Amino acid sequence: MNNNVYDVIIVGGGPAGVAAGIYASRKRLSSLLLTKEIGGQSLNSGSIENFIGFEKLSGMEFSEVLQNHLRAQDHITVETGVEVVSVSEEDNCVVVVDGQGKEYRSKYLLLALGSQYKRLETPGEREFEGKGVFYCSICDAPLMKDKDVVVIGGGNSAFEAIIDLLPYAKNIHVFQRSGVLRADAVYQERIAKHENVHIHLNREVKTFEGEAFLSGVTWKDTLTEEEGELPVAGAFVAIGYIPNTSLVSDLVDLTEKNTIKVDRKTFQTSHPRIWAAGDITDELYHQINTAMGDGVNAILNIYDKVKMEDV
Ligand SMILES: Cc1cc2nc3c(=O)[nH]c(=O)nc-3n(C[C@H](O)[C@H](O)[C@H](O)COP(=O)(O)OP(=O)(O)OC[C@H]3O[C@@H](n4cnc5c(N)ncnc54)[C@H](O)[C@@H]3O)c2cc1C
């Protein structure tokens, strides 16, 4: 057990957590950042092209950029390879426990645990991730210029992916496993007038195929059992995402999508000692640049709280 009570513990080493960590150090908050790794979910990305200030970075290069900037700070303790397994409150402190049973205490906690895109868990999906199989259409649609693609899913996420792809892709096929599209009518109406969007109901992907990069998918009709192949350069899996909120589901208010409700200006949650930033929140847009901004806003607001206590 560590008796030190930090001003703030930041959990998560993605863009939100790292941005918060850099600001915490510069504000001379006594701060600790705990994370499994530095970089976050876009580590697997082959090419990040919208991180402002860098024309193009691989996921690994992005992680290095974050690590170098964070490690250059002299007023924050960073522990990687740490999985936080519980969060609770005791004696006006937040108590964080890692997988080894080690306890850490702080006045305030900033959660930057991110989220995970739901995978189909279909053969070939992981092999071609970032090499034709994508989950972030805002990020990767521009790679699909004049190419044929398939979007997998029939809800709002899938229709948002179609809209992101329309300025680029030649033909957009949409596979929906069930016979019903769940996307809002307004989305469906917008898409209906585009002749290059081909909706296939009752169709599921069986395998993702290719050599170095994806070259197509095999599919099966869930009603007739008919099978076939579709050559595509890109497959966008858009079946939703899972925010990493299970650790705190009994401490903070969540939305129906299990994201954390935050105040838009301060990024404080419903709990007086807990803030949240990045993809774990109910923010509308989930991107690297927005996650960093969230982290900065959250830590500056925590700094204001700490400063008020010291007066
Ligand atoms: C393949 C892919 C490519 C992408 N490409 C782009 C792109 O090109 N441009 C763009 O803007 N966005 C892109 N995104 C989206 C972008 O990555 C996210 O919006 C952004 O990473 C969110 O940052 P975050 O800090 O909120 O969370 P994350 O990046 O998810 O980071 C969460 C951090 O918390 C840590 N963590 C989680 N649970 C625990 C725990 N229990 N204990 C300790 N640590 C924990 C994780 O290890 C990780 O370090 C991409 C996403 C994916 C999946």
DSSP per position, 11-38:
E--SHHHHHHHHHHHHTT--EEEE-S-S
The better pLDDT of the pair 47, 223 is held by 223
Beta carbon of 269 within 6 Å of any ligand 1 atom: no
13 alpha carbon – ligand 1 mean position (Å):
8
Distance 180 CA to ligand 1 centre (A): 31
Q: What is the distance in A from the centroid of ligand 1 to the CA of 112?
A: 9
pLDDT tens digit sequence for 184-225: 898 899 899 999 999 999 999 999 999 999 999 999 999 999
pLDDT at 1 over 60: no
Residue 246 Cα to ligand 1 midpoint, Å, equals 16
Distance 194 CA to ligand 1 centre (A): 33
CB-based contact 24:76 (threshold 8 Å): yes
Q: Is 17 in the pocket of ligand 1 (CB under 6 A)?
A: yes
The residue whose C-alpha atom lies closest to atom 29 belonging to ligand 1 is: 40
- Per CATH, domain 119-237 is 3.50.50.60: yes
Q: Are the C-beta atoms of 212 and 124 separated by less than 8 Å?
A: no
What are the tens digits of pLDDT across the range 230-279? 999 999 999 988 999 999 999 999 999 999 999 999 999 999 999 999 99
Task: List pLDDT tens digits, range 72-88.
Answer: 999 999 999 999 999 99
The pTM is what?
0.85
One CATH from 1.10.420.10, 3.90.1150.10, 3.50.50.60, 3.20.20.30 for 5-116+241-310: 3.50.50.60
Q: Which is nearest to 172 in space by CA: 200, 196, 191?
A: 196
Ligand 1 atom with least separation from CA of 130: 1
Which atom of ligand 1 is closest in space to residue 247's alpha carbon?
Answer: 41
33 lines ligand 1 (CB under 6 A): no
- Torsion angle, alpha carbons of 11, 13, 18, 21, to 10: 30
| CB of residue 78 inside a 6 A radius of ligand 1 | no
- Assign 108 a pLDDT band (cuts: 50, 70, 90): very high
CATH 3.50.50.60 intervals, the chain? 5-116+241-310, 119-237
Residue among 10, 22, 23, 42 to mutate when testing ligand 1 (max atoms within 8 A of CB): 42
Nearest residue to 7 via CA among 140, 105, 116: 105
Residue 110: CB within 6 Å of ligand 1? no
Q: How far is the centre of ligand 1, averaged over its atoms, from the C-alpha of 42 (Å)?
A: 6
